[in-house]
Amino acid sequence: MRQIILDTETTGLAVEDDHRIIEIGCIELRNRRVTEHRFHCYLNPEREVDAGAAAVHGMTWDKLRDAPRFGDVVEEFVAFVRGAEVIIHNAAFDVGFLDRELERVGVAWGRLSDYCSVFDTLKLAREMHPGQRNSLDALCKRYDVANAHRTLHGALLDAELLAEVYLALTGGQGALGFEVIGATDAASEEAVTAARQRARPPVVRLAPSAEELAVHAARLAVIDQRSGGRCVWLASDL
């Protein structure tokens, strides 16, 4: 299975206020293994960056004026995510911004869902840890993912952290020990799928012998006699 861990940074919080994407970071997973394939770019948002957003990621319009616009990288981005399962923390936020950027380039580009499926780790975390904080930072702490080196948010850095968190949320790092060394990607994926779907062995039920039942009954009779007829096992219908 090909999966893409994706994160963005923006000029502000509300896409409805014409805020724009300033950074996209993507990391590829194959068979639950992080590969060397990356998609990363900074973008010229063609507008000022809100002070609150700049305090989070450290980027300003002055730093981004010479960066490409989304339309300059859209073909490369779409090619990178096409056919994959894209994993995002708080997916509604990033998908909303990406859909708006695609719309700006031209209606023919459609929406992100036209190219890939989307999996929201925030939704999964809320199901697994109801009533708890489930921000990326909180999940890093909960699953012992080191993030002390992060003083500012960045799309690629956050995607790297999310990759570790996602693997922890869904069963741990790697292919759960089922990956065949030296196998092709397709063969390895089939091995992992087969291992996950393999039925558990049936439970063996051992029935007591007639001799064992007789010994048990005799023991209960002794207990009942010594307790003055108050043996609970004899009184029970179980």
Give whole-number Cα distances, 121 to 29, 45, 170, in Å.
15, 27, 10
Q: Do the beta carbons of residue 27 and residue 159 sit within 8 Å?
A: yes
Instruction: Give the up-direction half-sphere exposure of residue 72: CA atoms within 13 A in the CB hemisphere.
Output: 9
**Catalytic member of 19, 57, 89, 153:** 153
- Whose structure tokens read 């904080």? 133
Q: Is the dihedral of CA 142, 145, 148, 150 positive or negative?
A: negative
Question: 39 phi and psi, to 5 degrees?
Answer: -130, 120
**Residue labelled with tokens 């080196």:** 149
Catalytic-residue membership of 129: no
Catalytic sites, residue numbers? 153
